[in-house]
Structure 1
Amino acid sequence: MESPPPPLSQLPLLYLDVDGPLIPFGGDPARHRTHLTERRIRELTGGSNPLLTRVNPALGPQLAALPCRLIWATTWFDDANACLAPLLGLPPLPVLPDPPLDAAEPAPGVHWKTPALVAHAAGTPFAWVDDEIAEHDRKWVAHYHPGPALLHRIDPEVGLTERDFTVLSDWLRNPT
């Protein structure tokens, strides 16, 4: 008999960037398949943005199936709920807040999101999916975050892949 899943409050966090992981960009523009039409985007979101045609709606169920609590960590802020969540079939997600004023000042080269993630996670295991993660971020998280963390860099020309979902799923099931 399979044991029941842990309560939502005990699941690791997954901080999700938009540009790069969900909206691939860069390189040859022909490489980015169009998944949604502008018309379908308007139907789902009430607005229009040509970048949203690059969103693969199949990523939504894959994200929802991960054993974690999803949180937007993007410059789209709450616009991610208005524009991306409906395209992916996701409910509105929490949005990473700005870091508290008393958060540790990041060293040069540390991404602006890094202190906000660590402050928000408050020791909870977390994964961060972004195309701008660098070694400075890994060192900063290792120094300031007492819990397990996976900083998973995505190739912005490709976006999230099956390989990325395998890495995330494996880690989220047993954060180390």
Structure 2
Amino acid sequence: MDSIIQGKAYVLGKNIDTDQIIPAEHLVYSLSDPEEVKLYGKYALSGVPTAEAGLPEGNRPFVEDGKFESEYSIIIAGPNFGCGSSREHAPFSLQVAGAKAIVAESYARIFYRNCVDGGFVIPYETAEALNKTVLTGDELKIDVENNTIANLTQEKTYTLKPLGDVYNIVMAGGIFAYAKKENLMGS
């Protein structure tokens, strides 16, 4: 199991809700048709108002126009990430867009559970307001075993709250895949 997640940061503010993560008008695509699934990636985080996003250098979109995947694989956010409705499409769209991890001060409970239960994206928590120091485009490296995130661009390292079994569940593909892999399901 690879315990390092490395990639570019995409920095957001606080209270990013599920309508901002995947706007309701994009919930019409099939979850089983590979061509339509790509559209969830294309429209991931397309509902974030630029004033709330706090993005430098012209408020760069998460996914560039005409693309289906983002160049950013680690999302840095403030408190209450994923608030709003309970749609599972939100963490799914981030996964389709190429996000590997989210590091936020806190999460809406249902969004956090959807990330883990569906095996979509690793939801890390931090006690520090990293969205105030990390910049969009910074190169980050998460060390899962040591619960740290290094900003390679700024040469700073921060502590993350331990994941417990969350990492293994997400990496297995979700709660049911994990239970099956660990022989936790009765026959």
TM exceeding 0.5: no
Task: Return the structure number with greater strand share.
Answer: 2
* TM-score (normalizing by structure 1): 0.31
Higher relative contact order (Cα pairs below 8 Å, separated by 6+ residues): 1
Task: Return the structure number with greater helix share.
Answer: 1
* TM-score (normalizing by structure 2): 0.30
